Amino acid sequence: MPPARSAVANRTPDWVRNQAAYVEQLLTGRDHIQQGVRFCPGILRLATRYPAEQLEAACVRALAAGGSSSGFVEQFLKSGRPLADTATEDGIGHHGNVRGADYYH
C-alpha cells in the first residue's frame, strides 16, 4: 500500500482525538464517525500554519458559535479580527456607547 494511502487508513477516531482539542465536535457532529475523521486533517493542517494560541482561540469561538468544520475555524483565523473574548462576565463588554446601570438611576 502506498505511504499516503496507509497514512489515511491508519487514522482512527482515537488517533484524531489525540491530535487536537476541537476534533471532538467534528467527530460527534456527524452521522457517521468516519465523516468526522475526514474533516479533522483540516484542523491539523491549520496547526502547521497558525500559532497554537490563535488556533485554540479560533476553536473556542467556533465551538461557541456551533461551527463543526475546519473551514469554520479557518474563516475565524483569516478574518483578522481579534479572537479574544472581549465581553465581561455579565455579557455587556466594553464600548463607548454603553452607558451602564448608573446612567439610568
Average pLDDT over residues 37-45: 83
Question: Which SS3 state, helix, strand or coil, does residue 45 take?
Answer: helix
SS3 assignment, position 51: coil
Residue type at position 10: N
- C-alpha 7: how far from its chain's center? 24
pLDDT at 25 over 60: yes
Tell whether the model's pLDDT for residue 76 goes beyond 80: yes
| pLDDT at 88 (0 to 100) | 43
Give the separation between CA 74 and CA 33, rounded to whole angstroms.
22
Residue 14's H or E segment, with its range, is: helix 13-17
